[in-house]
């Protein structure tokens, strides 16, 4: 069953006196129950904006976001619709997403209240994320980054989400805690039958936990497919470049290939295919027309 | 592995039998590492194994209450027993450091030019104009586009990769002999990481810099390090040339680290089927 469907989503950032930035420029994506979808791409490609739109933070300029068949209304001043508390998010920086002045147990209890869950205690949730039960009476500053992110995960899980979103949940963590926390999120989501949309710029971690990978470039999803297939046979030149840039631990001393150039300014995306100025396989058609198809949005892989 | 006599003969920085204890807890339990000019020495290990502490100890940046024994020898001096004033002359001038996150290691309210010239003027006693010219040169060296204009901008006006290049330029400003890079690419995108690794390798080859590269990423290690040391619980369990440590590890722990990697993490080797993480 499809839990979340994002269809041709466009999100624009408007700043007075500046050109409109199309952070998400027509992206489509779906997440099924019990499925883990990894969304990867370089910083500035719009993956966080997409995640926030799914939670109702920010109003889409066009396109639709449907959660369990119902449209996701942007978050306003009123209390959020009960059905939408099924979407929970774990943010990038646990130093900022936890309230420093409240005990972590109380913060987890907020989630339990949202789900009207009177039988579970915050300590049970701490247990599930692998922390000692007695930590519930402590404050966020008493914990390390990895522990804090576990607490943030516990708080999100407390609301019994059917869709968990991780917006770069591991990038603020110590390098060696990253894989652990990512695995924990996956296990907990899959265990409870929820879907997980996991956003990260770290391909090697996404590969470990995702069933499907969506690769985003400058506001568009350029390739989507099963993780093992994308990994074994990346088809979009951008996906190839991303994977090719990961150094192999083979002891050969080969420097990874560099993708020339920077991500272009999303306020003035290049004409035609968005990747063409950096693409090693650029053709004439790429400069003229944008490939508007999937699962691989590249003129080399145009569906017949 | 080499003997101690050999390392002190041609090493620019020699760490021998370094121990660090913080509040009675032993963090490092006898670390030996020798850095040679023009070589990248990789330091691998899990979180808490003491790799960062080793780097910090060289610069005398250990937390308060840390007690050290052993020797860190740079050009005939023991950095551990150097008075604060003399250590200040070493830090930034002879030994420099690059940290993980360029967003926090650069000062947000000072222009990059100011951050690039401050210690040059202090250590090398350069004049304002001279320091500025050198800073522009450095920015060119780390391949920042348009260095003449870029020098007056602030860190937030640069992307993450460019910021890390600036942090490297800051570290290189006084032509140090030793550069300590603590997870310099962990906060960056892979495509940007590739550029930084090439830069580090190039600087090492061109300037004869001795680099201590602290990283958990064995792929990064394999790409740029000449020698690799693997740390566990405050001890170096294995040291050797990159090819040997990563291909034929002698120590069980190194093998365990390598086995823990998802197979064929390198993408350019096609034809082999990758192993799935775990099925859903």
CA distances from B186 to A172, B5, B35, B161 (A): 10, 35, 22, 11
- Partner residue opposite B247 with nearest CB, options A36, A232, A251: A251
Q: Do A42 and B192 touch (CB under 8 A)?
A: yes
Domain locations in chain B? 104-173
Q: Please provide the average confidence, as pLDDT, over all residues in chain B.
A: 85
Q: Please provide the average confidence, as pLDDT, over all residues in chain A.
A: 90
**Phi/psi of residue A256, each to 5°?**
-65, 155
What is the rounded distance in angstroms from the CA atom of residue A259 to the CA atom of residue A278? 7
Residues B77-103 pLDDT 10s:
999 999 989 999 999 899 999 998 888
Q: Smallest CA–CA separation between B7 and chain A, in Å?
A: 23
What average pLDDT score do residues A181-199 get? Answer: 93
* Predicted confidence (pLDDT) at residue B9 exceeds the cutoff of 90: no
Strand-pair partners of A164: A88, A196
What is the rounded distance in angstroms from the CA atom of residue A126 to the CA atom of residue A53? 29
Interface test with B, best of A48, A229, A237, A248 (most B CBs within 10 A): A248
* Predicted confidence (pLDDT) at residue A92 exceeds the cutoff of 90: no
Which pLDDT does position B131 carry in this prediction?
94
Interface test with B, best of A184, A240, A246 (most B CBs within 10 A): A246
Q: Write the DSSP assignment of A188-220 as a string of letters.
A: HHHHTT-EEEEEES-HHHHHHH-SEEEEEETTE
Give the confidence band of B10 by pLDDT, cuts at 50, 70, 90.
Answer: low
CA distances from B213 to A30, A45, B182, B227, B249 (A): 41, 29, 6, 10, 19
CB pairs under 8 A between A and B: 137
Give the confidence band of B262 by pLDDT, cuts at 50, 70, 90.
Answer: low
Structure letter (DSSP) for residue A126: H
Complex ipTM value: 0.75
What is the rounded distance in angstroms from the CA atom of residue A139 to the CA atom of residue B246? 42
What average pLDDT score do residues A258-275 get? Answer: 83
Which pLDDT does position B214 carry in this prediction?
93
Residue B163 burial by Cβ neighbours in a 10 Å radius (0-12, 13-18, 19+) = buried
* Predicted confidence (pLDDT) at residue B264 exceeds the cutoff of 90: no
Give the confidence band of A225 by pLDDT, cuts at 50, 70, 90.
Answer: very high
Q: Do B190 and A190 touch (CB under 8 A)?
A: no
Q: Do A259 and B194 touch (CB under 8 A)?
A: yes
Contacts of B199 in chain A (CB under 8 A): none
Residues A125-172 pLDDT 10s:
999 998 999 999 999 999 888 899 999 999 999 999 999 999 989 887
Contacts of B269 in chain A (CB under 8 A): 248
What average pLDDT score do residues B188-215 get? Answer: 90
Percent of chain A residues past pLDDT 70, beyond the cut: 99
What average pLDDT score do residues A249-269 get? Answer: 82
Domains and CATH numbers, chain A: 2-73+83-248+256-301 (3.40.50.300)
Give CB contacts under 8 A, 24+ apart, made by A190-193.
A190/A34, A190/A36, A190/B280, A192/A157, A192/A160, A193/A33, A193/A34, A193/A162
Radius of gyration of chain A (CA): 20
Which pLDDT does position B143 carry in this prediction?
82
Which pLDDT does position A175 carry in this prediction?
66
């Amino acid at each position: 069953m499809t839990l979340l469907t994002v269809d041709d989503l466009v999100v624009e950032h408007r700043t007075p006196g500046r050109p409109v930035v199309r952070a998400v420029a027509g992206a489509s994506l779906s997440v099924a129950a019990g499925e883990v979808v990894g969304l990867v791409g370089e910083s500035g490609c719009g993956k966080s904006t997409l995640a926030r739109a799914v939670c109702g933070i920010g109003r889409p300029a066009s396109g639709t976001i449907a959660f369990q068949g119902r449209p996701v209304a942007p978050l306003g001043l009123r209390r959020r619709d009960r059905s939408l508390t099924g979407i929970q998010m774990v943010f990038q920086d646990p130093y900022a997403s936890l309230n420093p002045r409240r005990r972590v147990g109380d913060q987890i209890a907020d989630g339990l209240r949202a789900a009207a869950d009177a039988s579970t205690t915050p300590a049970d949730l701490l247990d599930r994320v692998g922390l000692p039960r007695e930590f519930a009476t402590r404050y966020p500053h008493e914990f390390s980054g990895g522990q804090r992110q576990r607490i943030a995960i516990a708080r999100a899980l407390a609301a019994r989400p059917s869709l968990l979103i991780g917006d770069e949940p591991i990038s603020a963590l110590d390098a060696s805690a990253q894989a652990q926390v990512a695995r924990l999120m996956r296990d907990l989501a899959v265990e409870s039958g929820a879907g997980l949309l996991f956003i990260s710029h770290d391909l090697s971690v996404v590969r470990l936990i995702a069933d499907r990978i969506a690769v985003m470039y400058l506001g568009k999803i350029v390739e989507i497919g099963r993780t093992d297939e994308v990994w074994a046979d990346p088809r979009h030149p951008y996906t190839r470049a991303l994977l090719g840039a990961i150094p192999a631990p083979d002891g050969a001393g080969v420097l990874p290939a560099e993708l020339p150039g920077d991500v272009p300014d999303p306020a003035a995306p290049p004409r035609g295919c968005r990747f063409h100025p950096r693409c090693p396989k650029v053709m004439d058609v790429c400069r003229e027309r944008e490939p508007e198809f999937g699962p691989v949005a590249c003129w080399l892989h145009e569906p017949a | 592995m080499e003997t101690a006599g050999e390392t002190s003969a041609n090493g620019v920085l020699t760490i021998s039998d370094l121990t660090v204890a913080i509040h009675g807890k032993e963090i490092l339990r006898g670390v030996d590492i020798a850095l040679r000019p023009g070589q990248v020495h990789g330091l691998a290990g899990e979180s808490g194994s003491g790799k960062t502490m080793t780097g910090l100890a060289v610069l005398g940046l250990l937390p308060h209450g840390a007690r050290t024994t052993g020797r860190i020898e740079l050009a005939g001096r023991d950095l551990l027993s150097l008075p604060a004033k003399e250590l200040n002359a070493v830090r930034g001038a002879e030994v420099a450091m690059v940290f993980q996150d360029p967003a926090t290691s650069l000062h947000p309210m000072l222009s990059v030019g100011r951050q690039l010239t401050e210690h040059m003027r202090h250590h090398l006693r350069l004049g304002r104009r001279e320091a500025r010219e050198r800073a522009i040169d450095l920015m060119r060296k780390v391949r920042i586009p348009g260095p003449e204009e870029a020098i007056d901008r602030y860190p937030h006006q640069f992307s993450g990769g460019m910021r890390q290049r600036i942090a490297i330029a800051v570290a290189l400003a006084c032509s140090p002999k030793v550069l300590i890079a603590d997870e310099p690419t962990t906060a960056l995108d892979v495509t940007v990481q590739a550029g930084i690794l090439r830069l580090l390798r190039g600087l090492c080859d061109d300037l004869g810099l001795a680099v201590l590269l602290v990283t958990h990423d064995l792929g990064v290690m394999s790409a740029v390090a000449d020698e690799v040391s693997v740390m566990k619980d405050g001890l170096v369990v294995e040291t050797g040339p990159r090819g040997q440590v990563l291909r034929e590890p002698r120590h069980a722990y190194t093998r365990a680290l390598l086995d823990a990697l998802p197979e064929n993490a390198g993408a350019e080797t096609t034809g082999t089927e990758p192993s799935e993480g775990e099925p859903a």
